[in-house]
A and B are shown apart, each in its own frame.
Chain A
């Protein structure tokens, strides 16, 4: 589980003046679901394309299964890779099945797997219709199906849930879990943090071409030490006792708001603070808000000095 399958070592790519990817390093382990997260234009797709050997890095090195992506033997590695490009567009005149047959032939996939794959993504009925008439979601499903041709061991999925409805997105993540059980390694890119944070094993945050940090959601929370929010609703709009209780926690901030209050606090003080609050009279309810990945991401984006400190910790 822990051996690195994809190694990205200090990769840089520029387009003219624009530095698309700068000194990016990553190590993706066998069998994990890994996600690159960043805003549009953060360099995710460029890094993706370099990992697939579609673009040559200006400097640095990328290896998949120990093979340099520029090497002649990489063709063999490619047979075990599935790729879903961002905004994939197929040949309009071909049907879903013909598209699969064509791409499958190039990949050396068993033609007998085509219909089961189309069925899996819910395109069985539409298999003989031209792609021209497919909706955006159907095209995305076809894109996912073709990525699974040839039973790949590594999947690269660039913004895979674009165009899917909520049910489709749910289904999609169930597929991913199923594939992980089979030991498939998956690399996803996304700008939708809230959606992805429960679905992946590790994430890497990207901003303006740099990888700011990488790790599991839990690890990143620890690293960043984001404050937790505790919402306290009171029986009477009386802030005095609350203020007294908080006097022992000078670093916690209190924001009163008509009969309730929000306490913003260092997460290390969570338990002592809760103990203090539980001894207090006149509290109706307490809600604890853990920082989401979204907060985390925004935190990074807004405070570059933190990212500077974390660079040493990039996995």
Chain B
């Protein structure tokens, strides 16, 4: 089967410009900038200081923020992408054109990913520019790493939202499923793991624990960022449960990549 890049590009462009036009990109960028500024400036106030101070703690706070915000934004961004067209009746029209279902799906994913990436870079990047006056180059690289991993996490949840959008019979179900996914991965998943560990006093799942964390893109994101930060690592006590061998950025990135590719692949398989 041949892929026509031109067709993918046309769909991607439309999706991207739709989000620029309806000010979605602007709104998300402003939210990111606002929160990042507040956190960077006031993040250390518990210790009695205000102002741009400790980059590691700033990033750690931003990670906590992004973990709540970005999955939700990505899931909302993508949940109606197919089911919405189907409900509107425009899906039949699109598919009657010389475009394959895979091209349509990839085009939409590419376009929405771009909108998400653009907002992330614009929102957090602006704050990065401010920070660059106060911090050194390695710290800035760490900040760039944070932005990059934020985009990847967003793409993973966007991929999940595509799966929801293909499977759901209508938009209401799709939005419900999207919110449920957010609850599960962002709020409940870690609690369940922790609960199991505590209840069984570490007897069950102790060795499995690090691998179980890889089954949640939000956790991968957290580990990816926190492990780079020496002070924070000890603060979180993460080093005690997470083996160094799994903490390699390559392994973690690979796991994240899986979360981007697998749901999208499954979505395509169902969409055919």
Contact = CB atoms under 8 A, between A and B. Distances in A.
Which size class do A's interface residues fall under?
A: 20 to 34
B7 interface: yes
Interface string B171-203: 000000000000000000000000000000000
A29 B8 CA distance: 34
B96 A52 contact: yes
A88 B93 contact: yes
A83 B93 contact: yes
A78 B97 contact: yes
B97 A85 contact: no
Nearest to A49: B92
Contacts of A83: 92-93, 96
Contact of B7 (A49, A53, A85, A106): A106
Given A72-B2, A89-B89, A93-B22, A79 B10 contact: no
A106 B10 contact: yes
A175 interface: no
Interface in A47-82: 49, 52-54, 72, 75-76, 78-79, 81
B94 interface: yes
Contacts of A87: 89
Contacts of A79: 98
B18 interface: yes
A156 B88 CA distance: 19
A89 B95 contact: no
B100 interface: yes
Contacts of A108: 98
Interface in A152-203: 156
A105 interface: yes
Contacts of B99: 106
B1 interface: yes
Contact of A107 (B1, B14, B97): B97
Contacts of B2: 72
Contacts of B7: 106
A102 B10 contact: yes
Chain B binding surface, main DSSP class: helix
A54 B90 contact: no
B21 interface: yes
B89 A103 contact: no
Contact of B98 (A91, A106, A156): A106
Contacts of A156: 96
Contacts of B10: 102, 105-106
B182 to A, nearest CB: 26
A71 B2 CA distance: 12
Contacts of B11: 106
Nearest to A146: B93
Contacts of B89: 85, 87-89
B136 to A, nearest CB: 45
A86 B129 CA distance: 52
A89 B90 contact: yes
A72 B2 CA distance: 8
Given A87-B89, A90-B90, A107 B22 contact: no
Contacts of A93: 18, 21-22
Contacts of A102: 10, 14
Nearest to A156: B96
A81 B90 contact: no
Given A102-B14, A105-B10, A91 B90 contact: yes
16 contacts: A54-B95, A75-B100, A78-B98, A79-B98, A81-B96, A83-B93, A85-B92, A88-B90, A89-B88, A91-B18, A93-B18, A93-B21, A93-B22, A107-B97, A146-B93, A156-B96
Q: Which 3 A-B pairs have the closest CB atoms?
A: A83-B96, A78-B98, A89-B89
